[in-house]
Amino acid sequence: MSTELKDTGFSSSYKAKTKRIVNSDGSYNVIRKGASIKWRDAYKYLTEKSWLNFFGILFLFYVILNLLFTILYWCIGFEHIEGINPEKGSSFMQAYYFSVQTFTTVGYGVMSPSGWPAQMVSSIEAFVGFLSFSLATGLLYGRFSKPNSKLKFSSQAIISPYRGGKSLQFKLVNTRDNVLLDVKVKMILVQDHKTKGGQITKRYYQLPLEISELNLLPLTWTVVHPIDESSPLFEKSKEDILSSSIEVLVLVSGFDEVFSQTVNARRSYDNSEILWGRKFKPIFSPNDNGDIVIDVKNINAMEKVKLDG
């Protein structure tokens, strides 16, 4: 029997129709206003950005800091940096190059500070450079050590034949070579209901699954919700399901043996991402050596099947 959930972490009453709760990439459609931004949030931001953006931000930070210290040297006077020769090019660029040497503590010995103002600035810059590289190293370690799942979901959920009736299914696969242990999955159906006062009320139902837990996940997993008398989708026609305002939330958790921590993944399927009368094709088979080969790129491979109702 499907259980109606009263507390899912999302409100149940809204003044108007809202977007889907969870996007297909697992992110939430929630915008926080008035929340305070702290420096600790920068760590979360930088560990969640893509590698390209991460290194781009670090490089931009590196360039800007050196530019600021070069301006300080300019305010003091470039004549306080021994080794700058106007005949060899722009004094500003030479001072910038000196700043880079001081910031990274490389020091090729061509240029050096002269006088206490320049020596004081270079000492501070060396200290800032030391701290900056320490923070960058910590961020790199945080990104590598942060446990995250590489579960790939099928881009559509399907309504498929099941034991003389129908079922709601989706497929997932672990794209990493490691094996997830104690994998658990939940499916929650979200339905919009309009009240007499014009408000939108969301109702949440936990959908019973054929199998909700696996001891390990070395291959693919087709998660099946039988549409029987206990399902809120029972006796719903194709038009009822595909035209109604519904969303299927998927929550997956498992123990990663590499990180020795629990990892989580999520996504959702709205009515536009549910296909009627489909069946998933197998995406793994043994090779000539007897090894099982999984083609994760074909996770969305499916075929049409006849489905009554």
Q: Which of 124, 145, 166 is the last residue of a domain?
A: 145
pLDDT digit string, tens, across residues 49-64: 888 999 999 999 999 9
Ranges of residues in the chain whose predicted pLDDT is under 50: none
Q: Which of 145, 170, 188 is the last residue of a domain?
A: 145
Distance CA(203)–CA(194), nearest Å, equals 11
Task: Give the whole-number percent of the chain exceeding pLDDT 70.
Answer: 91
Q: For the domain that residue 67 is a member of, what is the CATH number?
A: 1.10.287.70
Question: Whats the size of the chain, residue-wise?
Answer: 309
- Tell me which residue of 201, 195, 244 sits closest to 14, measured CA to CA: 201
What is the pLDDT, as a whole number, of residue 226? 94
What is the pLDDT, as a whole number, of residue 246? 85
Strand positions, DSSP E, 233-289: 246-256, 261-270, 274-276, 278-280, 284-286
CA distances (Å), origin 247, targets 9, 111, 127, 236: 15, 65, 53, 15
What is the pLDDT, as a whole number, of residue 256? 85
pLDDT digit string, tens, across residues 112-168: 888 889 999 999 999 999 999 999 999 898 888 777 778 899 999 999 999 888 999
The 3-state DSSP class for residue 188 equals strand
The 3-state DSSP class for residue 199 equals coil
| Domain housing 122 | 40-145
Number of domains in the chain: 2
In a domain, 224, yes or no: yes
What is the pLDDT, as a whole number, of residue 35? 61
End-to-end CA distance of the chain: 21
Burial tier of 106 (Cβ tally within 10 Å: 0-12, 13-18, 19+): exposed
Clarify whether residues 82 and 190 are in a common domain: no
What is the pLDDT, as a whole number, of residue 271? 86
What is the pLDDT, as a whole number, of residue 4? 73
Clarify whether residues 132 and 265 are in a common domain: no
Mean pLDDT of the chain: 85
Instruction: For the full predicted model, state whether its pTM sits above 0.85.
Output: no
